[in-house]
Amino acid sequence: MSRFLCLLSMVGLAACGEPSRGSPASSSPIPAREAMAQSFIQNMKSLDLQYENLHGDVEQSAPAPEIRSRLTKIRRAAEGASVLPYRESESENRDLKRQFDLFLSTLARLEAGEWKGEEGVHNVRALGAACEACHGLYRTD
């Protein structure tokens, strides 16, 4: 369920600050904030996909290099999203960046852990909880 909440929350979070898009026929460039919002959404979708796959990898007892590869992809997506001040409020951008910093710190701790058996299941849950900490602040339903 936390995987679904992670995806739902990120889509809701991204929608909070996503400006409306112009028509495809429009020749005007995409405003910077909208481009950042689109990039944020792409990063969060990538993060969610890798989280879903990580969950499956742990359930299937995937080899450690495969799990580490997913964790690296999650880190890259989170780092990419964390530097995009796409929200109109600078204080929200700062708060969101702090939440990403906390998430990345948790991820670093988990990257050093074991991802097999019960510890793997625990780590997937801990990673999901790290996602939800931010979602609780910025998610709108």
pLDDT (tens digit, 9 = 90+) per residue, 44-59? 999 999 999 999 999 9
Query: Tell me: the pLDDT tens digits for 6-32?
Result: 443 444 444 444 444 444 555 678 899
Q: Note the pLDDT of residue 90.
A: 93
Query: Tell me: the pLDDT tens digits for 125-136?
Result: 999 999 888 877
> Which CATH number goes with the domain that contains 80?
1.20.120.10
Residue 56 in domain: yes
| Residue 89 structural domain | 6-10+32-138
Q: Note the pLDDT of residue 122.
A: 95
Q: Per the structure, how many domains does the chain have?
A: 1
Residue 64 in domain: yes
- What burial class does residue 49 get, using C-beta atoms within 10 Å of its C-beta: 0-12 exposed, 13-18 middle, 19+ buried? middle
Residue 23 in domain: no
Q: Note the pLDDT of residue 83.
A: 94
Residue 17 in domain: no
Query: Tell me: the pLDDT tens digits for 97-120?
Result: 999 999 999 999 999 999 999 999
pTM of structure: 0.76
Q: What is the mean pLDDT of residues 57-85?
A: 95
